[in-house]
Chains A and B, each alone.
Chain A
Amino acid sequence: MATTETDVAIVGAGAAGSVFAALLAEAGKRVQILETGPARELDDLYSSQIWARKLKWAEPHVPEINPQDSLSFNFNAGRGVGGAAVHHYGVWPRFHENDFKERSEFGKGLDWPLEYADLRPWYDRVQKEVGVAGDAEQEIWRPPGDPYPLPPVPRFAQGEMLAAGFEKAGLNVAPVPVAILTRPYNGRPACIWDGWCDAGCPTGALANPLVVYLARARKAGATIQADSHVTRVLSNPKGDRVTGVEYFDAQGERHELHAKLVVLTAFTIENVRILLNSAAGKKDQALANSSGRVGAYLMSHAGVIHSGLFDDDTQNHLGISGGQIINQDHFDKTGGDGAFGSRQWIGGLALKPNDLLGIAMSRVDIIGPELEPFMQNAAKKLAQIVAITEDQPVEQNRVELADDKDAYGYRLARIRYKTSPDGMGLWQQAATEGLEIMKAAGATEAWHGPKVSQHIMGGTVMGDDPERSVANSYGQAHDVGNLFLGGGGLFPTSSAVNSTFTIHAVAMRSADYVVKNWSALTD
């Protein structure tokens, strides 16, 4: 066994981990990031939906108790330096003010231990550092915030046709806000609208960690160690102070990295697994789990993709995977009985022929000789919109330990999840409304697919009450003063927006807190 020592051990080199690493390294701390997956550089990002699969999860396998209600963890998660943010689509709306106090204001879900106003300065700071493009005035639903630093994404034929449909259906649209450059910014080039976002953007136009916060972290001296699989957080006998982490390298050799402070940013599922496999002082109690809530309140956005065929060319190969237009008219939490929450529309997704979200997958019933004419037509005349619907935090939806063990003898994670009834109610509303939008846009034929899972949140939720939550508003574990968590796992509610912007903002607020309180936290 080899033992090394640092100031900060960060587990996971994705969106949240990279923000922590950059800020703490720039503050002069010795930072070491351990990433279970391989090293990745921009040159590794082939423009291919087939090769894009290497960017995502496969092992350790995460079984699901209800596979018919799959979270699509392998598709949503990432593996390798940069994490899921390497293949995320760069759609960056903010959470809304009413997402933060749902228990207090609506008697549903949970309250965050902070309000939108508390988080706003970090949204503003992140969007300036990263370069977010959009039109704040056209986003009539947007909570208070600085204007975007970059002009909005362009509209191609698909976006124009769908925007007209939304407006005919009585819905508002605005350019989708994205962390994708519409002009050169901070040394990075502008996007060329080729739709290869899912395969990872090798130009640096899309703000993945490799070109923003990991680049800053490296420059400030942080070490990024790939192929290092963390199994446990190490702690003192009482379980109220962590001392480092245990990990195994690519050769299977065990190591300990001792640290003054540990940050877990290994995505929702692995964060929980690591905690549940880490013993605290008390018998049968996992680390940071005096509340029993580690693993609980797992959430995901139930999505529905609508496709429509048009007479005219939609130019669906142009743009970005995340779309061209956005609608957030349904954010006042008035969906009605059985459909509490918010839902969002995005339209004008750039399409590829194959893969999970590809053209062929939109009609899985078409096979044999009928497939080629469909593909030829759809490659030019298909348009898509996608709804994201809010999920509710249900305590029984959770990540738990399976009986099976990994190669190092630690129990694997498994998922016990069923979309909340409110989430399904919202999904059904979106399924109906989407067909109306497509019809209004002039589609000659329109249909929607089944429920799909987008973004995974919860499992280590933040809250004011240490008996009902895992961490405080800074992601600091209630039970362990020098253990911090990052990522969507902290979210007590899911809103109906893509999660990566908020992951960045929350992580940056936490990292600032750590820097300001370093002595007190590490004494």
Chain B
Amino acid sequence: MPVSDRRSFLRGAGLGLLGFTVAGARVWLTPREARAADAELQTLKPDEAVSLETIGEAFAPGATEAGIAWFVDQQLGVAPNDSLLMARYFNVPPPYTDFYRASLDAINALSQARHDQVFAELDRDAATGLMREMLAGDPEGWQGPPALLVYLVLRNDAVDVVYGTPEGIESLGVPLMAHIEPPSKW
């Protein structure tokens, strides 16, 4: 669905799809579809997207395929008052990109300090251990936003993409009962 004018923009937004660029063309996709299509990331660098995916996966299995990196990336490109990120509820100061970048750096630095590997290279037990440290407060040597805040924001992002969508809700055996269908898969 190429986007060429305001009318198609509004139609896409009304469906709740998010705008991504694939092979140079602007298209409307869900984040899951955007990941599958290898859509261009607008804000996150590839290594940051990988970090976010592995962290999200460690919080909520399924977050990677559900497109957590593409969801967050797309949302970092919109104005804070239009943002769908949980970061706004936790009073993270805009722009949210600064928070995400600092958080991913801090987690990888902690991972390097503990295991001499970036987070994406950790096995499950090691990854879980780091997260437990973050839940308890700032680990020794932590350099970044408050660790508990980082934990809560990123865990909620993962939960959003896995359980907060219509298909996520219905995967729990709960009827959606939507009055107005939310944005496609969001």
Within 8 Å by CB of A53, from B85, B128, B166, B169, lies: B85
Residues of A within 8 A of B163 (CB): 353-354, 360, 375
With A73-B91, A79-B81, A379-B173 known to touch, is A51 a contact of B182 (CB < 8 Å)?
Answer: yes
Q: Is the CB of B83 within 8 A of A354?
A: no
With A367-B128, A375-B172 known to touch, is A50 a contact of B160 (CB < 8 Å)?
Answer: yes
A184 on the interface (CB 8 Å rule)? no
A201 to B166, CA, bound (A): 18
Which of B83, B159, B176 has the most chain A CB within a 10 Å cutoff?
B159
Q: Is the CB of B177 within 8 A of A74?
A: no
Within 8 Å by CB of B88, from A46, A53, A70, lies: A53
A407 on the interface (CB 8 Å rule)? no
In the A-B complex, the 4 residue pairs with the closest CB atoms: A48-B182, A354-B164, A47-B178, A194-B177
A120 to B178, CA, bound (A): 37
**A interface SS class:** loop
A144 on the interface (CB 8 Å rule)? no
- Measured CB to CB, the residues of A under 8 A from B are 37, 43, 45-51, 53-54, 56-59, 61-64, 67, 70, 72-75, 79, 192, 194-196, 201-203, 317, 352-356, 358, 360-361, 364-365, 367-369, 371-372, 375-376, 379-380
Q: Which of B79-134 contact A (CB under 8 A)?
A: 79-86, 88-89, 91, 93-94, 124, 128, 131
Q: Is the CB of A74 within 8 A of B89?
A: yes
Q: Is the CB of A353 within 8 A of B172?
A: yes
Residues of A within 8 A of B16 (CB): 46, 48, 51
The residue in chain A whose Cβ has the minimal distance to the Cβ of B81 is A58
Residue pairs across A and B with Cβ atoms less than 8 A apart, 10 shown, are: A48-B16, A51-B16, A53-B83, A58-B94, A352-B164, A355-B156, A358-B159, A360-B60, A367-B58, A375-B163
Q: Which of B59-90 contact A (CB under 8 A)?
A: 59-61, 79-86, 88-89
Q: Is the CB of A380 within 8 A of B164?
A: no
Residues of A within 8 A of B175 (CB): 317
A67 to B176, CA, bound (A): 35
Q: Is the CB of A53 within 8 A of B89?
A: yes
A43 to B13, CA, bound (A): 13
Q: Is the CB of A317 within 8 A of B91?
A: no
Q: Is the CB of A56 within 8 A of B89?
A: yes
With A53-B88, A59-B81, A379-B172 known to touch, is A46 a contact of B94 (CB < 8 Å)?
Answer: no
